[in-house]
Chains A and B, each alone.
Chain A
Amino acid sequence: MSMFGQVFVKNNQYKIKGDFHHLTPNQPIRNADDSWQLMGVTNPRDMTYIHSYGGEAVFFKSLCQGKLMATRCDNPDCESRGTIYQPFRIHCMECLGKNTVIDMTDLAKNTATIHTFMVCNRSGAFTILDKPIKFINIEFDGVATILMSYLSIGEPDIGMKVVPIFKKSSPTYTILDLSWVPAGTPESELPEGFGF
Chain B
Amino acid sequence: MIKFSEEQLKIPKMMKPVYLVTAGQSKFDRAFPGKRTEELCIDALTQAAELIDMTPAELKSYIHTAYYGHFADHFGDQLLGEAVIHDRLGLDPLGTIGVKTGGATGGSTIWEAVKAVASGYSDCALAMGWERMDEVPTDEGNFLISCAADKDWETPLGHIYTGYYAVMAQKYWKVFGKEEDSFRKTLAEIAVKHRGYARMNPYAHGSMNITVDDVLESPVVAFPLRALDCCLMSVGAACCIICDEATAMKLTRNTKNKPLRVWVAAGSHTLRPADRRDMEIPLLPNETADLYKDLGERFPGGDRYPGFTGFLAARMACWYGYRMAGITDPMEDLDVIELHDAFTISDVQTYEDIGLRPYGEGRDFVESGDCYHTNPHTGQSGRLPSNLSGGLIGCMHAVGATGIMQVFEIATHLWNRWAEIHGDEKRWKSFDREKPADWTDLQVKGAKRALAISHAGVGSHVTSTILMDPDHLLKQDV
Contacts and interface: CB of A to CB of B under 8 A. Distances in A.
B345 to A, nearest CB: 11
Interface in B127-159: 137, 139-146, 150-154, 156-159
B439 interface: no
Kindly state the interface size class of chain B when it binds its partner: 35 or more
B169 interface: yes
Interface stretch (B12-20, B110-118, B214-222, B365-373): B214-222
A135 B275 contact: no
Interface stretch (B160-168, B290-298, B376-384, B391-399): B160-168
Contacts of B156: 127-129, 174-176
A114 to B, nearest CB: 10
Contacts of A125: 137, 139-140, 142-143, 159
A43 interface: yes
Nearest to A39: B33
Contacts of A190: none
Given A39-B33, A118-B167, A158-B174, A148 B157 contact: yes
A90 to B, nearest CB: 12
Interface string A109-152: 00000011111111111111100010101000000111111100
Given A127-B159, A148-B154, A120 B166 contact: yes
B81 interface: no
A135 B158 contact: yes
Contacts of B139: 123-125
Interface residues of A, number: 44
User: Which among B3, B34, B137, B225 has the greatest number of chain A C-beta atoms within 10 A?
Assistant: B34
B166 A87 contact: no
A137 B220 CA distance: 20
B121 interface: no
Given A120-B221, A158-B170, A148 B308 contact: no
Given A115-B308, A116-B174, A123 B159 contact: yes
A145 B277 contact: yes
Given A118-B170, A125-B140, A148 B222 contact: no
A74 interface: no
A33 B267 CA distance: 48
A83 to B, nearest CB: 8
Interface string A167-188: 0000000111000000000000
A148 B150 CA distance: 11
A117 B157 contact: no
A4 interface: no
B171 interface: yes
A122 B160 contact: yes
7 contacts: A116-B170, A122-B222, A124-B144, A127-B158, A129-B158, A146-B274, A175-B152
Interface of A: 29, 31, 39-40, 43, 51, 53, 56, 60, 79, 83, 85, 87, 89, 93, 115-129, 133, 135, 137, 144-150, 158, 174-176
Complex A-B, nearest 9 residue pairs according to Cβ-Cβ distance, in ascending order: A124-B159, A118-B166, A124-B142, A124-B143, A116-B171, A119-B223, A120-B222, A125-B143, A125-B139
